[in-house]
Structure 1
Amino acid sequence: MIYQLDFWKMMGLGITFILSSNAIFLFYYFISKIYHSKEFKSEIFPFYGITLLFLFGGISYIFANVFDFFRWQYDITVLIYYRFHFIFYVLSVASCIFVYENLIKKTKYLLTIYMIGVLIINFFIVTYEALNLFSNFTFGFALLILLILQYVVFVRPTSGILKHRMYITLVGLMIVGFGSVFRNPFINEAFSHYFFSMGTLLINVGVLLMGFGFSAFSTFTDLNWKEKLHQIFIVTKDGLPVYAYSFDVNQTITDSELLAAGLSSIRIFLSEVLKTKDDLQIIEYKNLNVILELKDNIVFILVIKEKSSFLQYKLEQFSKKFSEFFKDLLKNWNGDMELFYPTKTLIRNIFELDK
């Protein structure tokens, strides 16, 4: 028998399709980050877990959509579609848990093994009602674990903008949880499929927030981004030194030989940089990475030990604050570097060296 779908059922199917598309887009985005990473180190290994989280999640909701279509349109419960939805959803959650366990290195992957156990148990459940009930208990517990791990692994140890982005990911996880509750068949059959549509919309929002949060990382060593800092130089377009600071010893570089050595390296590629119209550039030099920010007549040069998109943001933030603070002084500067001594405090604040 063919049934006519009501508005909210059709809306729910459409939003679920968008959800699958968003998840697969995020999979493509994060797999691209891996592909464009020149060195496949252990630090980017967790990105594989992130990519699989979105890939398996997207596939899961494709099967869920097909299952719901047949159930609503033809009143047929095709268990195999729901089982595939369950399997890929478990794989998605397991991938996310794996990321946390890989970074925390204290749980011996017991939670990932637990999710594999859940996957095996599902094959012994032979009815849709039983499998749906099992999934409710399983994913309710898994969501609680994910929220705790997100806070412990990402929120608590970070600071500044990274902490904000990790809070966004945490909120995204919560929203996915609320949306999943609204999608529950028991609620929809008891009340209205309006909740199904709204729940799916919430999951969409939550998934996008998670993707936005995790995109703050270039590699997961950004959790320890301060360890990547090496030196920062502020020079004029002509190569005249304005200020220099060493993060390794946490002090201003005043030694003339050390300053000359650093500037001689910088001048090798500074002239090439100034020929371009880009205000922000990243250059690999020997075993270091150099981020350059051009603002007015001043070049800000951050030398780091490993590439980091988060430190690009930090340099942009610092260059803006520096230019605002010394705006009047720079107009009539006579070459006296001591006038920029307050820069040390600015560096320590922007790069959170006192935290």
Structure 2
Amino acid sequence: MKKDSLRNWAIKVFIRDINLKRSTMIYLFFSLLSITFVAEAFLFKYAVLTGGLSVVGIEIYLFLITLAISFLISGPLVDKIKHRTKYFNITLLICLLGLIISAIPQTLLYYIGLFMILLTIPQLILLWFTILVHETNILNRGRITAYLMISGFSLGFISVIFIIYEFLYPILSILEFCIFFIVVWYSREYSYIETDERLKSDKKYLNIIFEKHFFRYSSSITVLSFIFGNLLAGYGFDIDFFIFALASFTYLIAAGCCLDNIGRKTSIVLGILLLSFFLVSFGSFIESSYIFGMPRKVFLSIHYGFSILPLLLAIFTISGDFSTERGNLKFRGRINSLFLSLLFFGAVIGFVFSIWINDIYDRFPIFENFLPNFPNLLNGFILVILLVWMMGMKEFLASKEKKWADSLKNIFVFNKHGICLYNYSFEKNELIKEETDEAGFDEDLISGALTGIIAIISEITNTKRELRQIQKEEATLLFTYGKYHIVALIASIELPVLFKKLDAFSRAFENKFSKELKNFKGNVTHFEPARFLLTKYFSKKYSEFSEK
């Protein structure tokens, strides 16, 4: 019993609602890997081998500011692209050409290659983000993003070897091209093409970013980035990469699960409290070589591991949630580009401010009498203000989407001729045909009526586009289509997550019953095991359904 309870808990926490198609997951993985290979190689080459971020010259400042501006420019461009996967492949090819050009030992060519990389990397990240958000929902986005980041960044560390041993650098380009061909190959199976209908919106971009709750989240990300920049100025980036990676990946799993299971706001607040522990510890042991029995370098490595990649995870998840709200899809690239540019701007401002305030205290010791040890206490003071500021946030979208199960009414699976193959009432927890005598209609009558409605609306509108939704005051009908069947879900409210679940259920239904659907001769008992698919895609607790 305990073993089953532990298994159900693990399923609920780590893999529930994660049902991406194999081709989609592979494409997302290799496309992210192609980005991390280039990004980590350049981060190591231009930050670590040039003295780290403890000695920052004008070149690094320009590098970060250029990245921030490049993200801002790339956002509107990505939003105008319809064929996202095709454009990703083209942009990745240009980035790889920049990588090759930058390896040529000539100053002009080096900067041309670097410019090409700085121009394309933000576009690649935003394109990958839009594909990720398109394929995920509020219930699984945090974990899927975390799992992809762990796999992508861990394998991306391999690129550091090619930077340490310069004679291997040309092989990095060859390896990148191998990944590029894998991405292109899988883009034949998976593609993401936006439509004008999905991109329709009456909203204005400026109204979205200055909306109260959006502004609270974006400003919070900026403040956290400011603290990160301040931290870099005070302690540098002298870390143990193995411990940093181990801490990052461990915390990413925990953060991804928290974001999906306990909510965005609560997860970020807990992360800030954890961050405050490290900051207070550094302030308390500022002259000590050891902190809680650990060398300062180890403690700092864990601190950065709990800060950098989890902050990126929070940005991808939160900006993804905002961009799935009604009317915001049109601005998905711009929303994420704003968050990422604020990350870089905040870090630069925090770094510069830290250097400036420390210089002021060095020149004018009298300030110690009024605000003693202020530079070291600044981050902790900011975190207190940030926690108060975040109390006013709401669990946007999540508070509504997390109740998706309560909105479910009925589901019907029927073939193209209107014969009901399977149905279920979520309100009654039973098959609708059990109510046939009382209700005065049966499941085949309902399925036939729905088939007729779909055909009539298609005829009236004179379009081949499939009907996806019918909205009434107290109910919403959602439709998805297979090769031989149609699935209709009746819910009390329209939620984006229900479309994702319905599509996933329909794919699984067609895969499981492909022979029965193709050779259907009237026997619907073959489809009774579909109740187990309902368990997988429409049950909040796996233990609610039991096999009979």
TM-score, scaled relative to structure 1: 0.50
Q: Aligned AA for 2:400? A: T
**What letter is aligned with 1:269?**
I
Q: How does 1:48-67 map to 2 (within 5 A)?
A: 49-56=212-219
Whether the aligned pair in 1 keeps the contact of 2:408 and 2:427 (CA below 8 Å) is: yes
Q: In 2, distance between residues paired with 1:21 and 1:205?
A: 22
1:317 corresponds in structure 2 to 504
Is residue 352 from structure 1 mapped to residue 539 from structure 2 by the alignment?
A: yes
Aligned counterpart in structure 1 of residue 432 of structure 2, from 216, 234, 253: 253
Structure showing the higher strand proportion among its residues = 1
Label 1:22 to 1:58 Cα distance change in 2 as closer, same or farther (>3 A): farther
Amino acid at match of 1:311: L
Distance in structure 1 (CA, Å) of the matches to 2:492 and 2:316: 31
Q: Provide Cα deviations, 1:147-185, integer angstroms capped at 9, x if missing partner.
A: 99x94x9524xxxxxxxxx68x9589959x98xx99xxx
Structure 2: which 5+ residue stretches go unaligned?
A: 1-55, 80-125, 127-132, 134-197, 204-209, 231-253, 284-300, 327-396
Give the equivalent residue in structure 1 for 2:261.
155
- What is the deviation of 1:349? 2.6
Matched letter for residue 301 of structure 1:
A
Give, in whole Å, the separation in 2 of the partners of 1:21 and 1:348.
44
Q: Paired residue for 2:483? A: 296
- 8 Å Cα contact 2:412/2:423 also seen in 1: yes
User: Which segment is superposed worse, 227-236 or 200-209?
Assistant: 200-209
Closer, same or farther in 2 for the Cα pair 1:326/1:171, shift >3 Å?
farther
2:262 is aligned with 1:262? no
Instruction: Report Cα offsets for 1:313-348 as digits up to 9, x if no partner.
Output: 111111011101111111221112223221222212
Tell me, yes or no, if the aligned pair for 1:17 and 1:61 is still in contact at 8 Å: no
Partner Cα separation in structure 2 for residue 56 and residue 20 of structure 1: 16
Report percent identity of matched pairs: 18
Higher relative contact order (CA 8 A, sep 6+): 2
1:182-224 alpha-carbon deviations (Å, 9 max, x no partner): 9xxx9xxxxxxxx9xx998985664234322565677431111
Give the conservation status (yes or no) of the 8 Å contact 2:484–2:517.
no
Structure 2 equivalent of residue 12 of structure 1: 64
Structure 1 residue runs of 5 or longer lacking an equivalent are 38-46, 69-146, 157-165, 187-194
1:340 aligned residue (527, 542, 548): 527
Instruction: Write the distance in 2 (CA, Å) between the matches of 1:201 and 1:12.
Output: 17
Distance (whole Å) between structure 1 residues aligned to residue 269 and residue 482 of structure 2: 36
Q: Structure 1 239/344 Cα, relative in aligned 2: closer, same or farther at 3 Å?
A: same
Seen in structure 2, the aligned counterparts of structure 1 residues 312 and 326 have a Cα distance that, compared at 3 Å, is: same
1:207 is aligned to 2:315: yes
Could you tell me which amino acid in structure 1 is paired with residue 427 of structure 2?
Answer: D
**Relative to structure 1, is the Cα distance of residues 202 and 154 closer, same or farther in structure 2, using a 3 angstrom cutoff?**
closer
Task: Identify the residue that residue 97 of structure 1 maps to in structure 2.
Answer: none
- Aligned pairs (5 A) from 1:276-295: 276-278=463-465, 281-295=468-482
**Secondary structure of 1:334's match?**
coil
Q: Cα RMSD between the aligned structures? A: 5.4
Rounded to whole Å, the distance in 2 between the matches of 1:210 and 1:308 is: 17
SS of corresponding position for 2:319: helix
Q: How many angstroms does 1:296 deviate by?
A: 0.5
Quote the residue 1:121 is aligned against. none
Residue 410 of structure 2: aligned partner = 231
Are the aligned partners of 2:416 and 2:451 in contact in 1 as well (CA < 8 Å)?
no
Aligned residue identity for 2:453? F
**Secondary structure, aligned partner of 2:476:** strand
Report what 2:493 is aligned to.
306
User: 1:233 deviation in Å?
Assistant: 0.9
Tell me: CA distance 1:201–1:276, structure 2 relative to 1, closer, same or farther (3 Å): same
| 2:532 aligned counterpart, secondary structure | helix
The alpha carbon displacement at 1:49 in A equals 4.9
What amino acid maps onto 2:411 in structure 1? I
Deviation at 1:14, TM superposition (A): 2.9
Query: Matches of 1:22 and 1:170 in 2, distance apart?
Result: 29
Work out the CA distance in 2 between the residues paired with 1:201 and 1:237. Answer: 48
Q: Deviations over 1:109-145 (max 9, x none)?
A: xxxxxxxxxxxxxxxxxxxxxxxxxxxxxxxxxxxxx
Query: Which stretch shows the higher mean deviation, 270-279 or 313-322?
Result: 270-279
Native 8 Å contact 1:317 1:350 kept in 2: yes
- The alpha-carbon distance between structure 1 residues 204 and 224, as it changes in their structure 2 partners (threshold 3 A), is closer
